[in-house]
Amino acid sequence: MALSFYMFQQFCKLVLKLTGWTISGTLPTDSQFVAIVGPHTSNWDFIIGVLARGALGAKVNFLGKHQLFMPLWGWFFKAVGGRPVDRTKSNNLVDAVVQIFNSDPDFSLALAPEGTRSPVKRWKTGFYHIASKANVPIITVGLDFGNKTVIIPQGTPTTDDMQQDMDQIIAFYRAIKGRHTKVIPDFQP
């Protein structure tokens, strides 16, 4: 198993190098976190994110719409750390994910704060509430297509001031050029 993991890591490093992508920063290796990845403007975001995660040798899970996990492709998305979410049902996803964090000390999660590639008027805040309730830091990950760099600054713990935390997070993403132009909206509680 270790050999296949090593080979996958080397493969990811090679593909990033051949395509001109670099990684600035690193993910935490021995702690839980919620990584928010953006701006989410293209299907390429997922591919670059998986390659960067593989090159870093990190085990990070993601949530995906349940249709991705149907037969034919479902095995692939599960193999790369996916967990299905049925967005047509009303369920308390935040508490369910917090429970996973509480029961699995190796669990980390990556999410797109916009929740979609389309333009949005407001970001979803589930990632913030998950990090706050699970008492884990938020790691911002910028996919800068302009410079072909995956940018990972230090983690940000949540405070008692959601407005201040979100303003800081949004400021980071406004400096990142996604594959397509996308306006990052002001935070609205």
In b/e form, how buried is each residue of 102-123, taking b as 16+ CB within 10 angstroms? eeeeebbbbbbbbbebeebeeb
In a domain, 188, yes or no: no
d(C-alpha 67, C-alpha 50), whole Å: 19
102 band by pLDDT with thresholds 50, 70 and 90: very high
Q: Give the pLDDT confidence of 49-66 residue by residue, as tens digits.
A: 999 999 999 889 988 777
Residue 65: give the domain boundaries. Answer: 2-174
178 exposure class (CB count in 10 Å sphere: 0-12, 13-18, 19+):
buried
What's the pLDDT score for residue 167? 92
Q: Give the pLDDT confidence of 130-175 residue by residue, as tens digits.
A: 999 999 999 999 999 999 999 999 877 788 899 999 999 999 999 9
Joined together, the tokens standing for residue 25 give 């920063």
In a domain, 169, yes or no: yes
80 band by pLDDT with thresholds 50, 70 and 90: confident
90 band by pLDDT with thresholds 50, 70 and 90: low
In a domain, 145, yes or no: yes
Number of domains the chain contains: 1
In a domain, 57, yes or no: yes
In a domain, 183, yes or no: no
Which position has the token pair 């797109």?
112
pTM of the model: 0.86
In a domain, 181, yes or no: no
